[in-house]
Amino acid sequence: MESRWHLLIDSGIPFPPQDRPAGFAIGPSGVFALVFVDAIPETTHLSRIRTKAEEAIAGVTYGRRKYVPHMLEVMLLMEQAVNTGVQERFLAVDPITMRRTLLAQETGLSPKHARYIATELAGRSRRYTLISTDNAPAAEPVSAEGLFATAELHESKRTKILARPFQEWMTFLDDDQLDLVHRNFNGPARLSGPAGTGKTVVALHRMARFAKNNPGPLLFTSFVKTLPGYHRSGFLRLAPLAADRAAFVGLHAWTTRFLKDRDVAFTLNTTAAEDAFSRTWQTARRVVGTIEASPSYWREEIDRVIKGRGITTLDEYKRIDRTGRNRIRLDGARRETVWKQLYQPYRQRLQERDAHDFNDIIAKAIEELDAHPLDEPFGLVVVDEVQDFTLMELRLVHRIAGGRADAPLLLVGDGQQQVYPGGWRLSDAGIPIKGRGAVLRVNYRNRSAVHDYAKRIDASNTVDDLDGEPGFVLRDTEIVLPGGYAAAEPVRRKEVGAKLVEAITGSRVPWSDIAVITMTNREAERYMTVLARAGISVMPLDKYDGSHQDAVKVGTVHRAKGMDFAAVFHTTEIPTKTADQLTDGERDRADLAARQTMVALTRARDYIWVGLIED
């Protein structure tokens, strides 16, 4: 037996039993139900054994949280291992491959947790006899002098402590979270809740549980192109055998790949789209600019409202409720001006260049799926950060999941964390969600100091959470992690770079645990240059996949969505106008900026520093 492992053996007669596991192996790699077989049993028989194994370990608690039963793996012990035919759901090993297979898993189960699970399981049932390496004779202590410096040992201990809560989420969930993992929704469902409440963790567990109990492919997607890759590593810790049938890909990447596979012609050209809008604005600004002078506002009106909602006629445009953008009032005459002076010329210029923007690609995919659904339907489709999708993108993921009233679609998000303009109602997308929604209310990520600072930000919600019900916001969440550090410091604009370097070095937080989160790409590029010149290792946030990297991550709030860090450093402009001095367009932009700032700060668990830029 390996150090830090525990073995529970069924003490019944005869041995091994035929209808349940012969025992459990519990260690740093997780929990394994051991089943002796001469040949691979039928899948239904293996499923019954898995159910018995999960029932045996269900309810093991650690503090206020419970072990997640489907985290265990069923391991078939054979004289000579063979391909199981269901290898994505069950392990098959022999005496030669067993040790290598056991130690290959990476669930992050701490020695304390492994010991606790084994001890509680043995104490709950007389059926099992516990054998533990904890009872083995202790080895003679060897002096570590010359092998490890004291500072390195302290750093290793600190790293484990910092990593603890994120790893526990992979193994232990509270009652509400565990209930949502097992709840049968029978159709499209929605998980919502403020930052740090574990929405995505619950979604990943639902995926893992599905993968271990059902055949078929799975999809995890998001508007944020880097987020699926970031969460793939977490999923593989939950269901390593399902790696080949679980796709983690951004929605735009999935869509372009799908159209290519179906031989649907398209010419995605973002440069041509930007040029088409720029040329259109040069003419339209004389008229449309009198309503709102910001060209970005009107770029978003095309992308997020007109094309993002699939509007094809002026009459449709005049009828819709511009959710999240109603401060700038567009009556019928103004909407006709926008349509004729801005949208139609933009569309015409794209057509002249035979070019498409991303909205065109989404529309083509919907049309193709309506005509020819997927050859192999997904067993489950999970959509993360759904509040940043357009209505057309919502309709697309519903089609990807089958488009039916009982489609296996799980939408995960929080309207208060919306970082793109506009809004919608789920009913507008034609997705039936009533009665299949749940709100998570306990914050497990942010320490109290971080939470107290972030909740003061007045971040509005323009996306309904349960198809019309008001959203549950950050300031109302329950906190479980005490302590933490939060500081804000006025900084002169010309000194921002130097102050940022000073704040990072003074924090004494390892670079691997730090993110510098910005509002713009230009700002991120500038900070990366400043930090690199100061000798601080950096990496772009859009290259980060969640694995350990001994570098400070730097990137925009749009790329940081859904990620977690021990410490976050963020700069923001001190407002030069009071609220009553803002125009309607400026208020919309201020609301969006507030949500973005809240998202940036709630990425941190232990430590935040905010530089308040002033001239």
CA separation for the pair 161, 447 (Å, rounded): 14
Question: What are residue 9's DSSP bridge partners?
Answer: 23, 129
| 432 labeled part of a ligand binding site | no
Percentage helix, strand, coil for the chain under 3-state DSSP, each rounded to 5: 45, 20, 35
Residue in the block written with tokens 């987020």: 227
| Residue 196 marked in a binding site | yes
The tally of CA atoms less than 13 A away on the side-chain side of residue 121 is 31
SS3 state at 256: helix
Q: Is 23 annotated as a binding residue?
A: no
| Residue 552: strand, helix, or coil | strand
Contacts of residue 140, defined as CB under 8 A and 6 or more positions apart, other chains included, come to none
The 3-state secondary structure of 490-533, one letter per residue = EEEHHHHHHHHHHHHHHHCCCHHHEEEEECCHHHHHHHHHHHHH
Amino acid (one-letter) located at 374? L
Dmax (CA) of the chain: 89
Nearest of 417, 419, 415 to residue 467 by alpha carbon: 415
Edge-to-edge strand ranges of the sheet holding 437-439: 246-248, 218-222, 380-384, 409-413, 189-192, 437-439
CA distance 160 to 260: 45
How far, CA to CA in Å, does 409 sit from each of 337, 390, 400? 39, 16, 9
The letter for the amino acid at 399 is R
Which candidate, 455, 475, 487, places its Cα nearest to that of 612?
487
**Structure token digits, residue 528:** 């990366």
Q: Is 611 annotated as a binding residue?
A: no
The length of the chain, given as a count of residues: 615
Per-residue b/e over 202-219, b at no fewer than 16 CB within 10 Å?
bbbbbbbbbbbeeeebbb
Give the amino acid at 515.
Answer: A
Helical pair 175-182 and 199-213, crossing angle rounded to 10 deg: 40
Count other C-beta atoms under 10 Å from residue 39's C-beta.
8
Has 63 been labeled as part of a binding site? no
- Please tell me whether 195 is known to bind a ligand: yes
CA distance 462 to 429: 15
Annotated binding site, which residues?
Answer: 193-200
Pick out the residues of the known binding site for ATP.
Answer: 193-200
